[in-house]
DNA sequence: ATCAGCTAAGCTGTATACATCTTGCCTGTC
DNA sequence: GACAGGCAAGATGTATACAGCTTAGCTGAT
């Protein structure tokens, strides 16, 4: 049988699951999150579900109104701009604020991601792109040594991901090509043992992404 | 009679109140937050109190353990370092990321704060210092045009405030003198209509503060 | 036909009862 | 006297019942 019940908090699990569904576009802007349905789906009462929704509300991705419900928001261009402007500033900090030592295992993970990106480039599917990009984010976040920066990196990722993945659906295979390019740059930075370079690589590709969002999505 | 019940969410009010009590040192590291007591104090059930505590837990200022309780944490030197390193980076962004126009009313508020700081310099009391510094933070945060930056500015403020105010109790009147100096610099920046200068002024004084924390508190 | 007003359904917000976990203390044995 | 074990108190975690809000849709008068 599977694990009967993990020791971690139920609320945190649901929180992570909801966030992932939102930024993976399983829930699209305008969709409603009904506590009762989610409670039944997860096999719990409304209490942990409410807690999870409450804790993600500060990201601005959902809006809860009394008597109506909780709906997934589409961030406005202004909001997206604020998020991306911040991510452009955060990226170089990866290599500067309390940098972590790069381990051989990091390089191996990067190589594997690069291989998966190459596969995706040959046979593109949007879902696979979203999942791979998510794993890349997890990888980068794991390299961040400053706790606060890592937290902010995650927060802005969640805020940007939904919009970014909308664009990926429009772009199709081109998105995978860009991902291969980004991962190649990242691998080179790791090979040079240069976390600062990695930060700038992130900044560069975030900039590219933002340009396309402004051009194609708004 | 006073306002019967504001329309805003009870949970958010309690959240703000708890955060303020933590960073104002009404609750000191090691103190326990008991949901039942807080519920009775605020005249509500445990539900909104739990929600409030849950929403502030991601700042790392409190730690909740099942069956035990929620205790206020003292951030380690490493954590404080991460917070301050981040604030040093965030400060210059105030003038660079989607800057807001400075209004005459802003200058008036600043002048008033400067006057209050001067009063405090003549007759120091720690509580007054903490409250004035808090109002200064609210003022600065209000000048930030980028929504994400404002959110991060608040988060790191809450994380740093508790430790900073511990130091202020040790320093005594010297803290008020430094505050007068900081507010003078801020006024000059506003007089020059230069939000970038204000950002750097913030960075400078955050740096001074961090130095003293490292020297006197750890 | 139109529209004001009512009504009921369905959602979130809150209170409360219960389950579960942790820990300090008491007790009995060695 | 020391220590293992149990037990009870008190805390958080969860489920559930209820209150309050919002809105869609019906109804009836104009």
Interacting residues of B135 by C-beta distance below 8 A, sequence separation 6+: B113
Tokens of A117: 């990106």
Q: How far is the CA of B71 from the C1' of D6 (A)?
A: 28
pLDDT tens across B54-108, in order?
Answer: 999 999 999 999 999 999 999 999 999 999 999 999 999 999 999 999 999 999 9
Interatomic separation, CA of residue A68 and C1' of nucleotide C6, rounded (Å): 20
Percent over 70 (pLDDT), chain A: 97
Give the DSSP letter string of A26-71: SSPTT-EE-HHHHHHHHTS-HHHHHHHHHHHGGGTSEEEETTTEEE
Give the per-residue pLDDT at A150: 98
Cross-strand bridge partners of residue B32: B71
Say which CATH topology domain B10-72 has. Answer: Arc Repressor Mutant, subunit A (1.10.10)
3-class SS at A72?
strand
Give dist(CA B16, CA A94) in Å, integer: 31
Nearest one of A125, A132, A87 to A110, comparing CA atoms: A132
Residues A107-120: tens digit of each pLDDT: 999 999 999 999 99
Residues of chain B contacting A151 with CB distance shorter than 8 Å: 58
Q: Residue A9's pLDDT is what?
A: 84
Mutation for testing the A interface, residue in B148, B157, B199 having most A CBs under 10 Å: B148
- Say yes or no: ipTM exceeds 0.95: no
Q: Is the CB of B55 under 7 A from strand C?
A: no
Q: What is the pLDDT of residue B22?
A: 97
Place domain B77-216 in its CATH homologous superfamily: GntR ligand-binding domain-like (1.20.120.530)
- Structure tokens given for A145: 């040594």
Is pLDDT of A6 > 70?
Answer: no
Residue A2 clears pLDDT 50, i.e. is over it? no
Q: How confident is the model at residue B110 (pLDDT cuts 50, 70, 90)?
A: very high
| For chain A, percent of residues with pLDDT exceeding 90 | 94
Shortest CA distance from A51: residue in chain B = B51
Place of tokens 């194609």: A216
Mean of the pLDDT values across residues A120-148?
A: 97
The string of pLDDT tens digits covering residues A149-199 is 999 999 999 999 999 999 999 999 999 999 999 999 999 999 999 999 999
> Using CA atoms, how far apart are residues B213 and B164, in angstroms rounded to an integer?
7
Query: Could you check: is the Cβ of residue A58 within 7 Å of any atom of nucleic acid strand C?
Result: no
Looking at residue B66, what DSSP letter applies?
T
Q: Do A89 and B97 touch (CB under 8 A)?
A: yes
Query: With contact defined as beta carbons under 8 Å apart, do B55 and A11 qualify?
Result: no
Say if residue B211's pLDDT is above 80: yes
Q: Is A155 exposed, middle or buried (0-12, 13-18, 19+ CB in 10 A)?
A: buried
Inform me whether the pLDDT recorded for A82 exceeds 90.
yes
Q: Is the pLDDT of residue A64 over 80?
A: yes
Whose structure tokens read 């740059």?
Answer: A185
Question: Is the minimum distance from the CB of B33 to strand D below 7 Å?
Answer: yes
Closest CA to B174 of B119, B121, B114: B121
CB proximity A47–strand D (7 Å threshold): yes
Residue B2, pLDDT score? 36
Domains of chain A, by residue range, sit at: 10-72, 77-216
pLDDT of residue B76: 97
Q: What average pLDDT does chain A have? A: 95
pLDDT in tens, B1-21: 333 334 578 999 999 999 999
C-alpha to C-alpha distance for A44 and B22, rounded to whole angstroms: 32
Q: Are B98 and A85 in contact (CB < 8 Å)?
A: yes
Confidence check: pLDDT of A141 > 70: yes
Strand extents, DSSP E, chain B: 32-33, 62-65, 69-72
Strands across the sheet containing B32-33: B32-33, B69-72, B62-65
Whose C1' is closest to the CA of B46: which nucleotide? C15
């Amino acid at each position: 049988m599977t694990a009967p019940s993990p020791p971690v908090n139920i609320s945190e699990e649901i929180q992570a699951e909801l966030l992932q569904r939102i930024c993976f576009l399983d829930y699209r802007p305008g969709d409603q999150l009904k506590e009762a349905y989610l409670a039944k789906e997860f096999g719990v009462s409304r209490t942990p579900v409410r807690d999870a929704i409450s804790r993600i509300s500060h990201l601005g991705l959902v809006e809860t109104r009394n008597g109506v419900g909780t709906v997934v928001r589409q961030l406005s261009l202004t909001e997206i701009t604020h998020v991306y402007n911040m991510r452009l500033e955060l990226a170089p900090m990866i290599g500067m604020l309390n940098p972590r030592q790069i381990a051989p295992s990091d390089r191996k993970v990067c190589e594997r991601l690069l291989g998966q990106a190459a596969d995706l480039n040959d046979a593109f599917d949007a879902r696979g792109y979203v999942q791979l990009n998510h794993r890349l984010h997890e990888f980068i976040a794991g390299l961040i040594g400053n706790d606060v920066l890592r937290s902010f990196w995650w927060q802005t990722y969640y805020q940007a991901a939904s919009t970014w993945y909308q664009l990926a659906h429009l772009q199709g295979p081109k998105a995978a090509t860009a991902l291969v390019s980004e991962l190649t740059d990242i691998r080179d930075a790791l090979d040079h043992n240069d976390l600062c370079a990695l930060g700038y690589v992130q900044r560069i590709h975030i900039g590219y992404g933002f340009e396309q969002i402004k051009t194609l999505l708004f």
